[in-house]
Structure 1
Amino acid sequence: MFQIINEVIDVKVVKFGGSSLADGEQFQKVIDIVSSDKDRKVVVTSAPGKRFDGDIKVTDLLIKYATEVLDKEEYKDTYNKIVDRYKEICDYYKLGPETLEIIQKKLTDLATEKFTDDDHLMAAFKAHGEYLNAITLAAVLNHEGIKAKFMNPKDAGFLLGGSPNNADVLPETYTNLAKYQFDDAKVIFPGFFGYSKDGSIYTFTRGGSDITGAILSRGFKADLYENFTDVDAIYVANNHVVDHPQAIKKMSYREMRELSYAGFSVFQDEAIIPAVEGQVPVNVKNTNNPTAPGTMIVPSQFLFDPANLITGIASSKRFSALYIHRYLLNKEVGFTLKLLQIFYKYGISYEHMPSGIDDLTVIFDKSKLDDSTIKQLCAEIRATIKPDYLEWIDDYAIIMVVGEGIAHNINTIGLIIDSLTQNNIAVHMINQGASRISIMIGTQAKDANRAVQNIYDTFFN
């Protein structure tokens, strides 16, 4: 399956997002980046993204194509739009007809292939955005005189479990990838999907090319995982909330995880886990400005001294809270158990549960709840637990202040609280995580942006 050689080679895995591979002009930037460093041996592709405001991503066109096939509707127009996206890239580089013919055949065959069920069909259709872009990029690189080869995840033993549209990597994948030895050709590997043991295409959740890149970084024992996107770096705070926030030069894995949870969107919070497990450093860089140093995410908090007391501030307004007051709540054995049993009955998971002597707040991701469930949940809690007071709070946000330096400075919480109270922002909840590198603050949703701004000013201005 793999060519085995004995030469020791430094390996960088490089992943490019959809905007980086949207058209021929963006392809050229990718080619320049890949060819500028001989150690960039593995290139992970996303599906072509938007070329301009109002454009449609190829993945969304493929979902529409799949839906039309399932509903037995006319799909020729959608099919042509998908083909045209790849044709545009092939024409930009004046490729021969062979590549486009492969693309057309694979897209045509999708419409007539028999699948186990609709979920398997949808996964297969979605995966072809990355699949066909990897084939295209390999062809373009070879046409430009850069030796490259397309690697099908099936041939690499990239095995996934779980469900067709929400897959998990299987341990055998790492065993299979570890067998590969590199030659002088760039490996072009499609992101987002792999294969089940029975040969079916399985996809990760949206944004899964990041996950593929992290898995390959671990499996190939890479020296570095470069994740190219459309920003120069990860910033201390959202630039839509804080004007021109400072860039983060270096951060730890666990800082990235904490910040991803509360709204940092560079990575899905689980996307980086394989790289963490493989202890592979990650460098977030900009395809449109590749000489910028970007942000380094390093394997351990012990590998560097943080430059600032805090590293990042993130906020999310996707939360709701259930507030319960009951006198002598802390004395009642089994109180929390009763509450958890009700959550279990309704299939509800909670995010946090800070408590006091007579008070308890349960924080939920409100995107996973509807009004009917909330109403039934509150009614059952009233009947079972009989609280003195119960309130459901929809106007709730969580602010995460994260930094390795927090664990070594006793003044951080005081500075944060002062920055909020002095600006008339009420703090509903505060909790320092067990890791001691993050401080979680609950506020009203309407105050979240001001809270981030004031905390940023305190520590960075």
Structure 2
Amino acid sequence: MKVVKFGGSSLADGPEYEHAINIITADPERRVAVTSAPGKRHDGDIKVTDLLIKYAKAVINDEDTNTLVSQIFNRYQAIADYFHLPADQLASIKGRLLALPKQDYPNDHYLMAAFKAHGERLNAELMALVLNHLGHNARLVTPEEAGIRVTGTPNNASVSPETYALLDRLTYADNELLVFPGFYGITMAGHIATFSRGGSDITGAILARGLHADMYENFTDVDAIYSANPNVIDHPQPISKMTYREMRELSYAGFSVFHDEALIPAIQGNVPINVKNTNHPEKPGTLIVPDQSFQPTDIITGIVSGKHFGAIYLHKYLLNKQSGFTLRILQILARHHVSYEHMPSGIDDITIILDKNQINDSLIDTICNEIQKEINPDRLEWINNYAIIMVVGEGMKNRTGVINDILSPLAEKHIAVPMINQGASRIAIMIGTYNEDADAAVAAIYHRFFAN
């Protein structure tokens, strides 16, 4: 049995919907489909999720919502019209949209989560209606019915282990197609909570594990996962096969094709993942497989840069002789609910790398002021334009001289490397540089390993 998930661009309008339905029905092993909310149809268009966020904010601010409701409903109506779906079958979708402001929510965060989740919820309902209209035996299965339980905050939820026991009890007919909305689950108190943005990938992986699928197919708008960003490298080499942990390392620094958190349920269930293109389903795509028995064909699998980092640099003589020094810094970060990404250090120096999506200028000043007061370093500096480059490959762990091969082309291009780190897994080397050098660094490393 296969679980198939479609991204927002793959379900944006009628023709894209038709591609998705042809894919679902072309293989009898594809028994479970996971929908995202309709995405952009063209440049300048707006995703349904973003419209729903506007809808939620208008409700919170007690503003008129009629125009927004019409905009959102018209996106589903246009898809239904493409398939000549009877108008009365959309009454439930319109009714759910109108009923959203009338529900009881513990606070505005839960309200926002419920509104956002309905992009997927309504699209799954529409997909089931269209499939049945075309003569296929399809059934909408909601997270409430399936038992997808979550914990955490309303807009950044995590799956509860109880989910997998509940999914084991889900029954369905042999000839039945199950359509699930992605992106959200149900809290213990019965409220909707969403995974982080792009979380339909997570739903697909949860279902692949919970329903013991043989394969999780993730359909998107690219032919494969590439060894480097096509916006940086012209026609980069596609990756035919890679391991879970390679994908995890690359996703961390910026590979956006596949949600990195979605790997975890798949890893736990030992389910292979195939990333494919909705518009070219005949192409093999990229296969993501368990680490065991994997035989790499290249030294390097992929190179990616992330430019959303900053760093606090501290210098203090005899730092290595002071017990509890690092603990005191981490306690300052913890007080402000800020996690750190990496902390390379020397005998007198520490660099604390932070994700700038977690912080703002005011918080940076507050944290640095507290570090100066409590730690009194000899030097304290905030580096705003920090970039991290991940060079990843299972083939690296049994090769000597790889670091030299990575750093040599950077030296030739006069690219500064203020930090380098290799993890214990030996399949990833992390390089710190500056934003303005990041693309040039990726290109230099790529051409060293892939140009020939």
Using the size of structure 1 for normalisation, the TM-score is 0.94
| Residues 373/108 of structure 1: CA separation in 2 closer, same or farther (3 Å cut) | closer
Query: In the alignment, which residue of structure 2 is the partner of 1:205?
Result: 196
Match of 2:428 among 421, 433, 438: 438
**Which amino acid is 2:227 matched to?**
V
Query: In the alignment, which residue of structure 2 is the partner of 1:184?
Result: 175
**Which amino acid is 1:170 matched to?**
S
CA distance in 2, matches of 1:202, 1:361: 36
| Residues 385/162 of structure 1: CA separation in 2 closer, same or farther (3 Å cut) | closer
Query: In the alignment, which residue of structure 1 is the partner of 2:238?
Result: 247
Q: How does 1:275-290 map to 2 (within 5 A)?
A: 275-290=266-281
Structure 2 SS opposite 1:149: strand
Match of 2:330 among 340, 350, 356: 340
Residue by residue, what CA displacement relative to the aligned partner does 1:376-399 show, whole Å, maximum 9, x if unpaired? 333333343333333221121111
CA distance in 1, matches of 2:434, 2:155: 35
Query: In the alignment, which residue of structure 2 is the partner of 1:407?
Result: 397
Asked if 1:218 corresponds to 2:204, the answer is: no
Query: In the alignment, which residue of structure 1 is the partner of 2:220?
Result: 229
Q: How does 1:32-51 map to 2 (within 5 A)?
A: 32-51=22-41
Query: In the alignment, which residue of structure 2 is the partner of 1:447?
Result: 437
| Residues 135/383 of structure 1: CA separation in 2 closer, same or farther (3 Å cut) | closer
CA distance in 2, matches of 1:323, 1:403: 29
**Which amino acid is 1:237 matched to?**
A
Query: In the alignment, which residue of structure 2 is the partner of 1:264?
Result: 255
Residue by residue, what CA displacement relative to the aligned partner does 1:127-182 show, whole Å, maximum 9, x if unpaired? 11111111111111111122211112211112222222222211121011112344
Query: In the alignment, which residue of structure 1 is the partner of 2:295?
Result: 305
| Residues 428/177 of structure 1: CA separation in 2 closer, same or farther (3 Å cut) | same
Q: How does 1:311-460 map to 2 (within 5 A)?
A: 311-460=301-450
CA distance in 2, matches of 1:117, 1:341: 30
CA distance in 2, matches of 1:293, 1:223: 17
Residue by residue, what CA displacement relative to the aligned partner does 1:85-132 show, whole Å, maximum 9, x if unpaired? 111111111112232111111112223233332222222221111111
CA distance in 2, matches of 1:70, 1:344: 31
**Which amino acid is 1:69 matched to?**
V
Q: Which has the larger displacement, 355-364 or 439-448?
A: 355-364
Q: Which has the larger displacement, 373-382 or 266-275?
A: 373-382
- Paired residues, what number? 450
Q: How does 1:10-29 map to 2 (within 5 A)?
A: 11-29=1-19
Query: In the alignment, which residue of structure 1 is the partner of 2:282?
Result: 291
CA distance in 1, matches of 2:132, 2:420: 56
CA distance in 2, matches of 1:162, 1:378: 29
| Residues 303/54 of structure 1: CA separation in 2 closer, same or farther (3 Å cut) | same
Query: In the alignment, which residue of structure 2 is the partner of 1:137?
Result: 127
| Residues 108/335 of structure 1: CA separation in 2 closer, same or farther (3 Å cut) | closer
- TM superposition shift of 1:186: 0.8
| Residues 237/386 of structure 1: CA separation in 2 closer, same or farther (3 Å cut) | same
CA distance in 2, matches of 1:75, 1:372: 34
CA distance in 2, matches of 1:411, 1:242: 24
Query: In the alignment, which residue of structure 2 is the partner of 1:80?
Result: 70
| Residues 192/425 of structure 1: CA separation in 2 closer, same or farther (3 Å cut) | same
Structure 2 SS opposite 1:360: strand
Match of 1:169 among 136, 146, 159: 159
CA distance in 2, matches of 1:338, 1:115: 39
- TM superposition shift of 1:345: 3.5
Q: Which has the larger displacement, 269-278 or 195-204?
A: 195-204
Query: In the alignment, which residue of structure 2 is the partner of 1:6?
Result: none
CA distance in 2, matches of 1:376, 1:164: 27
| Residues 264/131 of structure 1: CA separation in 2 closer, same or farther (3 Å cut) | same
CA distance in 1, matches of 2:149, 2:341: 31
Residue by residue, what CA displacement relative to the aligned partner does 1:319-338 show, whole Å, maximum 9, x if unpaired? 11222223332233332223
| Residues 298/359 of structure 1: CA separation in 2 closer, same or farther (3 Å cut) | same
CA distance in 2, matches of 1:362, 1:117: 35
**Which amino acid is 2:5 matched to?**
K
CA distance in 2, matches of 1:221, 1:322: 45
CA distance in 1, matches of 2:374, 2:62: 50
Structure 1 SS opposite 2:261: coil
Residue by residue, what CA displacement relative to the aligned partner does 1:272-294 show, whole Å, maximum 9, x if unpaired? 21111111000000001111100
| Residues 390/71 of structure 1: CA separation in 2 closer, same or farther (3 Å cut) | closer
